Amino acid sequence: MEKIDKMWIAPLPTDSAYVKTFRLHYIQNGKEKSWDALKVHDSVSIVIFNTTRQKLVFVKQFRPLVYHSSVTSNGGDVANVDLEKFPIELGVTLEICAGTVDKDKSWREIAREEILEECGYDVPVDQLEEIFSYRCGVGTQGSKQTMYYCEVTDNQKKSPGGGVGDEIIDVVEYSVDEARAMVYQKGNINGPPSFLLGVLWFLMNKRSNK
Amino acid sequence: MEKIDKMWIAPLPTDSAYVKTFRLHYIQNGKEKSWDALKVHDSVSIVIFNTTRQKLVFVKQFRPLVYHSSVTSNGGDVANVDLEKFPIELGVTLEICAGTVDKDKSWREIAREEILEECGYDVPVDQLEEIFSYRCGVGTQGSKQTMYYCEVTDNQKKSPGGGVGDEIIDVVEYSVDEARAMVYQKGNINGPPSFLLGVLWFLMNKRSNK
């Protein structure tokens, strides 16, 4: 996963299919204001627990923008990067399974498909328990993400997972104790807040008396 | 706070000071890939607990992009919006105190200033307890956010708070029970994942035996 040979920056084309920018103007209490923004798809995320082996199921992947941010915020230049000072692992995140709502299907169905594509478990939609919804990037885009909880078994494992198309995703498993140690350890977690939120929710609601 | 008279969209100027876009190219396992992105400042967030009155201190504000996302993801048009169907409150978020790292100061000092500017409490930096760091917007920007915990007292309240410059921020207080009910209630929380994460962390680590 971590074999990256070269990295360089170019201007964003105006017809980017992924980052659609705009300036939002509004009048608040009689005063004109504006906010620069981009439009991002809503998304789903799923806390997966394998009850056969009592393991939480997460995904690891190289996130080029996390790497870029790590390098540039610490004085580096991605186009001429010192790989000893900024190893590629700085861009490898630990996340819960997730995906964007970019198809004309229900959110639960999209979550079900992400579990199969990324982690290889084929589960019925009614196995998904909705935890909560929140707003991502309130200062840059404001999209909605709904988080689900899903218990799976070894019998439901139908493929290795790993993503579709160009995706390169590693499926990793953590015991409950390993996950607990990770969220109690104060420090740098190379993953999104939804990862920490999902693990804390699981520990509070599914393992609070253990 | 919620008086919004008009809202309209324009293209993003190429010289936007806030949204700086780029296309990141890289070669992973011999295959050229690219990712469209924007550069966003790193940031801090702070879970604030007033020990005098045993209340968690949060902020509410109108987030134009959350409103825009709510409207456009549900078939509405912000430039000609039906305020009965899409009330302005859809854009009012509940958050923990936060701010961007855009000054040449330590992260703790920036967190200290945000607590004073947004919530009105003047605290020494050594009162800030670092909880964890994580990566925001792993698919769009990848910036780092560090979350702190800070206990404050009524004696440290020096101003009403509310933000600086054009900011319009309401300081709101929740009892521990009210906060617990909010995160246990499954449903739509109009706030970022860091809000839920901070409240869950507080309940697990500071109120686990109560």
> Which residues of chain A are within 8 Å of residue B26 when distances are taken between CB atoms?
4-8, 64
| Complex-level ipTM | 0.92
Coil, strand or helix at A37: strand
The single-letter DSSP state of residue B79 is G
Rounded CA gap, B123 and B157, in Å?
9
pLDDT band at B116, cuts 50/70/90? very high
Inter-chain CB proximity A95 and B138 less than 8 Å: yes
**DSSP symbol at A25:** E
What's the pLDDT score for residue A28?
A: 85
What pLDDT score does A16 carry?
86
* B25·A13 Cβ contact <8 A: no
Q: Which fold has domain A41-207?
A: Nucleoside Triphosphate Pyrophosphohydrolase (3.90.79)
Percentage of chain B beyond pLDDT 90 is 60
**pLDDT in the model for residue A210:** 47
- Subunit contact B200:A195, Cβ cutoff 8 A: no
**Of the partner residues A19, A21, A190, the one whose CB lies closest to the CB of residue B135:** A190
Residues 130-169 in A contacting B (C-alpha not used; CB under 8 Å): 130-145, 166, 168
pLDDT of residue A187: 67
pLDDT band at B187 (very low <50, low <70, confident <90, very high): low
Q: What is the pLDDT of residue B210?
A: 47
Cα–Cα distance list, A73 to A77, A138, B24, B101, B102 (Å) = 10, 21, 16, 10, 11
Residue to test with chain A: of B110, B138, B170, most A Cβ within 10 A: B138
Per the CB < 8 A criterion, the answer to whether A117 and A168 are in contact is no
CB A195 within 8 A of CB B137: no
Which residues face B45 on adjacent strands? B98, B147
| Low-confidence spans in chain A with pLDDT less than 70 | 1-2, 185-187, 208-210
pLDDT over 70 percentage in chain B: 96
Please compute the mean of the pLDDT values over residues B19-35 and round it to a whole number. Answer: 88
Q: Rounded distance, CA B142 to CA A118, Å? A: 21
**pLDDT tens track for A101-158:** 988 999 999 999 999 999 999 999 999 999 999 999 998 899 999 999 999 999 999 9
Q: Do B10 and A23 touch (CB under 8 A)?
A: yes
Contact by Cβ (8 Å): A140, A22: no
CA–CA separation, A170 and A161 (whole Å): 8
- Where does residue B127 rank: exposed (0-12), middle (13-18), buried (19+ CB within 10 A)? middle
- How high is the pLDDT of residue B182? 86
- Residues in contact with B83: Cβ distance below 8 Å, sequence separation at least 6, in sequence order: none
Residue B99 has pLDDT above 90, yes or no: yes
Those of residues 19-38 in B touching chain A at CB distance below 8 A are 19, 21-31, 33, 35-38
